[in-house]
Structure 1
């Protein structure tokens, strides 16, 4: 009896907590607020499926309760109710109705599947269609703008209102490229090339996730899609293509030397303005990013902690640690990284 009272006492609180969990998600990391034609199609078909399921549930439960009320056993009922086994009309009815419901779901699903698989360039944009090569790493994303001649990391920029083509690869293990507000998810598989297109209806920052368990830091393998109007996007591309200027500040210059091959050798993994390799995320526009390591706020404290001991913040990542850096060297290195901003050019 006491257990029953306890359960009923905490049931409302449990339901409230369950409902509030929907408020804890990150902005734009939801498929329930579509911002593109592909995500809108997915959302609409989700609603269609819910309507069909609701219709079936209402009809089934209505019939169930009507039968319970009408044909319940009463005192003095000695005869069995009329049996309808073998009733042709009923059998046709409950066979035809599911077929009709399946057709209602199947027709838009098939047409939408072909729509989402159409990875041909947008005829209205023609040769200016943006094509981006995506490579999933443990645990970050590489974005190669091969036609434009530069590489970006962790943040991918696209023009608004245009179909953007993505060529998906994986460097090490299977990942899954997913931007819920813009479209569905597609796996990136080592040795296999997959394709996906996305389109953003309005400017904004849309969060993406790896949707395939890929290692201990899978949950932290985030990225961002930043949609800009075409003139702003073209300006961003031009800034990324421009030669990175040497910092004028003395502290940043010292940090540039530490970053180079004769210092800590960071340039051996992180490309800047076309110089360096893609063993780690390109840092050409690092100063413009809101987060580091995919999820940490891009402030000096987090940046210093990340450089000194990245494994403690993102388990299983391949970046080496640099605990030997002095506070003065760290200050200089951070000053240089902060100077890497294409938006200021």
Structure 2
């Protein structure tokens, strides 16, 4: 390849980066959604400690190499009227060769010790009655969260108490995924037919964002979920609300929506039935988002029902374009009042 051709390729890449830098992703993710440098959990803090420690080692190595490089560059530079006498320089220096062999090994050992320790610490399964166990199931393209001790399940929205260990048992149903909450800790592979385990905690109440970190299809980038970390009292209230029977259907419009749901939706969203393909919508009205990426409101719910594949390409959810405006409004009201 000619030099001119290489410059053309570099120019195109630079232009592409400039265009992508201007893309607006705020409708999907907030600006701090993937911020791993401000951890709010034990696992995240230990990972950040390792990052800083490895950077410190690399900076020391870089400083030493650059100092030697600059020294050699200055001392042995070509100067007018000066001829370098190579005969007085040795071909090798045993002491120096030992030093630059031992130092990298020492640096690797220094980095390996805390890495191995943290790896075993984070892999240890917590015990005790105060440990919350959550079963995570990855689907294309949504997340299912089961609370076995509490006896219910939800989707796209994970609630955890602040200051307590949460032990996740993670598996999948279709393809490979990866469970990741950047602010709380590292990633864990989601493998169909296998259960992987991960322990996280949140030290501060707040809304944290989760992602799928394994390319899993057309809507991989949109396979998001929310983690709501709340104080124990608020978490207990949420548990009680999710465990209680759903609110009764009252208005005529809601009853019409219930009929539409039972005739068109229940096959894929049949509550606790393990054979269903879609998420449990029993308490859909308590969620903070739609499909994990849209703001929870009536307009977005209708847009999702009308044509979900335009929002999440490749989703198994079929569009409800056969409903007229009145029927769509009734179904929307019914779903939003399922609390």
Q: TM-score, normalised by structure 2?
A: 0.88
Q: CA deviation at 1:37?
A: 0.5
Look up the match of 1:83: 89
Match of residue 334, structure 2, among 316, 333, 336: 336
Number of the residue aligned with 2:153: 151
Q: Structure 2 CA distance, aligned partners of 1:101 and 1:19?
A: 40
Q: Distance in 2 between matches of 1:22 and 1:88?
A: 57
The within-5 A match list for 1:130-169 is 130-169=132-171
| 1:336/1:19 CA distance change after superposition, 3 Å | closer
Q: 1:54 aligns with which of 54, 59, 79?
A: 59
| 1:301 to partner: Cα distance | 2.1
Establish whether residue 300 from structure 1 lines up as the match of residue 298 from structure 2: yes
**How far apart, in 1, do the equivalents of 2:60 and 2:215 lie?**
36
What is the RMSD of the two structures over their aligned residues, measured on CA atoms?
Answer: 2.6
Shift of 1:189: 0.6
Alignment of 1:1-345 (within 5 A): 26-74=31-79, 75-80=81-86, 82-121=88-127, 126-260=128-262, 263-264=263-264, 266-272=265-271, 274=272, 278-341=276-339
Distance 1:81 1:178 in 2: 60
**CA separation of 1:95 and 1:276: change in aligned 2, threshold 3 A:** closer
Q: Deviations over 1:276-305 (max 9, x none)?
A: 964212223322323211212222222112
Contact 2:171 2:193 (C-alpha < 8 Å) held by counterparts: yes
The answer to which of 221-230 and 87-96 deviates more is: 87-96
* CA contact 2:176–2:190 (8 Å) conserved in 1: yes
Deviation of the 1:19 alpha carbon? 12
- Separation in 2, partners of 1:22, 1:105: 36
Counterpart secondary structure, 1:268: coil
Deviation at 1:54, TM superposition (A): 1.2
- Greater shift after overlay, 246-255 or 325-334? 246-255
Conserved? CA contact 1:270–1:276, under 8 Å: no
1:128 offset after TM fit, Å? 3.3
Q: 1:176-224 CA deviation, whole Å, 9 max, x = no partner?
A: 0000100100111111111111100011111000001111111110011
8 Å CA contact retained: 1:204, 1:228:
yes
Consecutive unaligned residues of structure 1, counting only runs of 5 or more, are none
Between Structure 1 and Structure 2, how many residues are aligned?
A: 322
CA contact 1:35–1:202 (8 Å) conserved in 2: yes
Structure 2 unaligned runs (5+)?
1-6
Q: Which segment drifts farther, 96-105 or 182-191? A: 96-105
- The alpha carbon displacement at 1:21 in A equals 10
Q: For the residues of structure 2 that align with 1:153 and 1:59, how far apart are their CA atoms? A: 52
Q: Is the 8 A contact 2:160 2:229 kept in 1?
A: yes
Residues of 2 paired with 1:18 and 1:302: CA distance? Answer: 27
C-alpha contact (below 8 Å) 1:36/1:183 kept by paired residues: yes
Contact 1:267–1:275 (CA under 8 A) maintained in structure 2? no
Q: Assess if the C-alpha contact under 8 Å between 2:130 and 2:164 holds in 1.
A: no
2:84, 2:42 → 1: CA distance? Answer: 62
For residues 284 and 304 of structure 1, the distance between their equivalents in structure 2, rounded to whole angstroms, comes to 18
Alignment partners' CA distance in 1, 2:320 and 2:50: 50
TM-score normalised according to structure 1 size:
0.86
